[in-house]
């Protein structure tokens, strides 16, 4: 039996290596398969203005920026990611990394550290481990050359959780973190003792999908007090004409770190932050292999008085099923800081 498995594995690997259009699923037995996936991406990015991202080398926009003059061009392949899926009957394990983990330098090697994106186990209706928060509707994320598009207004968070799924209903308890609240020493500094609770229902059909989600949090303040927070979200992707689609996200309440990629914290001092975010995106296919996206996202907060906007427009050319390239122009505006920057980005992607 062991020799048969070795022979099957060797044959599968040979097929993957020798065929340009080969699949990446390797069948080990009637119950066991391994799938390799991901993509390789190269980016050239230019930024000019006085709104600078706090990320190293400004690889992409997040909701939190600083007012600082910036004018730079950067070449990088950090968006590249790789994943492996293991299936044994009803059990699935999935692991994925990208290269936004930091490290390296631009003087010599440009080496980068892998960063864990997903590591979870699925068994029937249950999911355990790190993956997209149940609060997120990934189909409503805009297609963009800039990593993740208008993160300033997107529900965009991955974390450890225990999730139950039954049809369109998902209920989960997820890792708590009072962002902006109590900070202590060591790896378990926050005094969060109650998991975040999330519920989402997704309506699906030939027309697309719409999800309704809510998150309830128990937040620990810097003074050791406990505050409650509740946030909501409505998001979806609607098919329109031909292959076109409209994507949207509307979030409000005490969403905190769940929306905006650091555009808002959960707490500002001793007060729970109130946030309103809206994102809209339209994807249009000019031809079968040429498409464009326009997206707009805005987040406003009550306690910290932030007002952040990101818009962009792009065009992607699909050379074949695996290879594409695109160019994008856009602007990030921090109205509360009186700061904004324009950017242009060229991306080339090969899907594994």
What's this model's pTM, rounded to 2 decimal places?
Answer: 0.90
List, as one string, the DSSP characters of 178-193.
-TTS---SSTT-S---
Whether 16 shows a pLDDT value over 70: the answer reads no
Pairwise CA distance, residues 170 & 212, whole Å: 11
* Mean pLDDT across 36-46: 95
Express each pLDDT in 262-293 by its tens digit: 999 999 989 999 999 999 999 999 999 999 99
Give the tokens for residue 48: 């000019």
Express each pLDDT in 132-179 by its tens digit: 999 999 999 999 999 888 999 999 999 999 999 999 999 999 999 999
Pairwise CA distance, residues 22 & 315, whole Å: 28
> 8, 1 in Cβ contact below 8 A?
no
Q: Mean pLDDT across the chain, nearest whole number?
A: 90
Pairwise CA distance, residues 306 & 334, whole Å: 8
The DSSP code for 3 is H
Tell me the C-alpha to C-alpha distance, in Å, between residue 185 and each of 44, 74, 108, 294, 334. Answer: 39, 36, 35, 44, 32
């Amino acid at each position: 039996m062991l020799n048969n498995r070795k022979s099957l594995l060797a044959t599968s690997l040979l097929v993957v290596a020798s065929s340009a259009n080969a699949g990446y699923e390797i069948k080990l037995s009637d119950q066991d398969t391994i799938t390799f996936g991901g993509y390789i991406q190269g980016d050239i990015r230019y930024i000019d203005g006085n709104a600078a991202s706090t990320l190293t080398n400004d690889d992409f926009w997040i909701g939190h920026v600083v007012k600082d003059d910036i004018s730079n061009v950067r070449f990088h392949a950090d968006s590249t990611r790789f994943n492996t899926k293991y299936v044994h009957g009803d059990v699935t394990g999935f692991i994925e990394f990208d290269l936004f983990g930091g490290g390296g330098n631009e003087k010599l090697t440009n080496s980068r550290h892998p960063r864990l994106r997903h590591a979870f186990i699925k068994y029937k209706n249950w999911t355990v481990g790190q993956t997209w928060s149940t609060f997120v509707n990934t189909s409503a994320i805009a297609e963009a050359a800039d990593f993740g598009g208008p993160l300033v207004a997107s529900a965009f968070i991955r974390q450890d959780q225990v999730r139950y799924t039954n049809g369109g209903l998902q209920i989960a308890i997820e890792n708590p973190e009072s962002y902006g609240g109590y900070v202590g020493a060591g790896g378990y500094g926050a005094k969060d003792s109650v998991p975040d609770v999330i519920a989402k229902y997704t309506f699906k059909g030939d027309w697309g999908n719409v999800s309704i989600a809510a998150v309830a949090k128990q937040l620990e303040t810097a003074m050791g007090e406990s505050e409650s927070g509740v946030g909501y979200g409505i998001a979806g992707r609607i098919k329109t004409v031909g292959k076109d689609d409209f994507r949207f996200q509307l979030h409000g309440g005490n969403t905190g770190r769940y929306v905006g990629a650091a555009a808002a914290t959960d707490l500002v001092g001793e007060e729970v932050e109130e946030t309103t975010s809206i994102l809209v995106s339209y994807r249009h296919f000019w031809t079968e292999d040429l498409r464009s996206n326009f997206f707009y996202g805005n987040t406003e907060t009550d306690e910290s008085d932030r007002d952040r906007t990101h818009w962009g427009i792009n065009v992607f050319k699909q050379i074949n099923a695996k290879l594409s390239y695109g160019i994008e122009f856009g602007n990030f505006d921090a109205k509360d800081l009186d700061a904004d920057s324009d950017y242009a980005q060229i991306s080339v992607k090969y899907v594994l």
